[in-house]
């Protein structure tokens, strides 16, 4: 699945996971939060396959940034359509191909499609055009209707250009009076790639486009909670941890895949430390293991009192299990650090300036909370740096530079 800690001898130990395979990149959940509309739209586009499949074929483009659920949407649709077709006695197959894995080569992609139906089919001696005819011959012989999902479709466009796409999209024109057996779902990140195709080829692709918007932070919270309920033991992942991971995924362009990977890694850190729960600190350790965090030299550039203020914040998160703290709590922790280094604390106004400076460099993040009886308050979050590492680095710098 993933590789993080290498190979070691592990005796029986308790785990926060119930079924960690539910966090694997290849797992397709039964429910796709916040993609219900797009799933219904796909079913509508291909509803003819359940009524009169031989009369028409369809072509649909699915576009969106990394982590917006394009592959999961297509595969969930494929599984649902296959199940429904089976109930109705329709001979239907959904075939999913990652074009990048086949270097964008139409020949290799078609070779894979043939192998789905005839695993021992010879791998040499045919051109792409001949393989395309063989594919259609197989579908005719087996009386089967296929949706071919071309994931990472852009790699095929870049390698093969218009001719290959034209052959796929205009296939039925050379099969007059025969059943239309092959429909396409083309999955790509950037719709601008289609502009590389000639006008006649573009016209066959751009009629049905499903564009997946980036997930919002709250949508990411819903997606992560959905995975938590199936992958982790009850109460193993506190809401503070989910919120922190959603914040981190939101900062990566709403990338749900990134958030799910972080969730898995955070669970692994919880297991290694023999914890019952996946704490926000586990999430910070997880993100620091895959995303470059602040260098020690960057910390050294901070002013003396900025370092003390950040030291207080680090200790807050090291000692507690919360994902955020109030400015008031940070001020108290800063005052204790000042006392430790025998200096007079700076004013609230100055600390507010430090906080804005630290937030501008993404060392910390801030948000205004309007909950509670005291009105608006500033919440501080330490998103990417493990609190224990940050405290250690700051103490080392302070002792060497100011000692």
Q: Is 257 exposed, middle or buried (0-12, 13-18, 19+ CB in 10 A)?
A: middle
Q: What is the pLDDT of residues 59-98, one digit of tens each?
A: 999 999 999 999 999 999 999 999 999 999 999 999 999 9
CA distance 231 to 289: 21
Does residue 19 form part of some domain? no
Query: Which domain CATH number covers 240?
Result: 1.10.8.60
Query: Which domain CATH number covers 320?
Result: 1.10.10.10
Same domain, 286 and 300: no
- Of the candidates 184, 103, 189, which has an alpha carbon nearest to the alpha carbon of residue 149? 184
Q: What is the pLDDT of residues 328-353, one digit of tens each?
A: 999 999 999 999 999 999 999 999 99
Q: What is the pLDDT of residues 282-300, one digit of tens each?
A: 999 999 888 666 667 778 8
Q: What is the largest CA-CA distance in the chain?
A: 90
Same domain, 270 and 341: no
Q: Is 13 a residue whose pLDDT tops 90?
A: no
Determine the pLDDT at residue 182: 94
Q: Is 371 a residue whose pLDDT tops 80?
A: no
- Let me know: does 237 contact 228? Beta carbons within 8 Å: yes
CA distance 31 to 28: 8
CA distance 205 to 100: 20
- Let me know: does 80 contact 214? Beta carbons within 8 Å: no
Same domain, 113 and 258: no
Query: Which domain CATH number covers 81?
Result: 3.40.50.300
Please give the average per-residue pLDDT across 270-276, as a whole number: 95
């Amino acid at each position: 699945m993933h590789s993080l800690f290498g190979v070691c001898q592990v005796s029986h130990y308790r785990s926060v996971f119930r079924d960690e395979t539910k966090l694997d990149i290849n797992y397709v959940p039964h429910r796709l939060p916040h993609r219900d509309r797009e799933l219904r739209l796909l079913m509508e586009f291909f509803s003819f396959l359940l009524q009169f499949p031989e009369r028409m074929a369809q072509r649909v483009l699915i576009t969106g940034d990394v982590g917006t659920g394009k592959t999961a949407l297509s595969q969930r649709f494929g599984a649902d359509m296959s199940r429904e077709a089976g109930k109705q006695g329709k001979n239907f197959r959904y075939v999913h191909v990652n074009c990048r894995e086949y270097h964008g080569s139409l020949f290799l992609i078609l070779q894979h499609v043939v192998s789905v139906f005839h695993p021992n089919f010879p791998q040499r001696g045919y051109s792409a055009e001949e393989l395309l005819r063989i594919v259609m011959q197989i579908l005719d012989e087996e009386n089967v209707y296929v949706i071919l999902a071309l994931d990472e479709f852009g790699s095929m466009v870049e390698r093969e250009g218009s001719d290959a796409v034209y052959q796929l999209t205009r296939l039925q024109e050379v099969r007059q009076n025969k059943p239309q057996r092959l429909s396409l779902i083309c999955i790509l990140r950037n719709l601008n790639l289609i502009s590389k195709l000639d006008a006649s080829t573009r016209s066959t692709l751009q009629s049905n486009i499903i564009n997946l918007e980036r997930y919002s932070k709250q949508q990411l919270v819903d997606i992560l909670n959905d995975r938590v309920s199936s992958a982790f033991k009850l109460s193993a992942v506190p809401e503070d941890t989910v919120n922190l991971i959603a914040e981190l995924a939101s900062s990566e362009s709403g990338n749900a895949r990134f958030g799910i990977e972080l969730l898995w890694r955070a669970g692994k850190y919880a297991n290694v430390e023999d914890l019952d729960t996946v704490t926000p600190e586990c999430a910070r350790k997880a993100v620091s293991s895959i995303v470059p965090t602040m260098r020690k030299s960057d910390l050294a550039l901070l002013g003396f009192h900025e370092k003390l203020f950040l030291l207080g914040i680090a200790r807050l998160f090291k000692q507690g299990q919360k994902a955020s703290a109030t400015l008031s709590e940070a001020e108290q922790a800063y005052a204790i650090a000042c006392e430790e280094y025998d200096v007079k604390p700076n004013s609230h106004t100055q600390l507010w300036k430090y906080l804005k400076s630290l937030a501008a460099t993404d060392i910390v993040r801030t948000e205004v909370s309007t909950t509670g009886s005291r009105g608006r308050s500033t919440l501080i979050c330490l998103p990417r740096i493990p609190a224990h590492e940050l405290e250690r680095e700051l103490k080392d710098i302070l002792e060497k530079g100011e000692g």
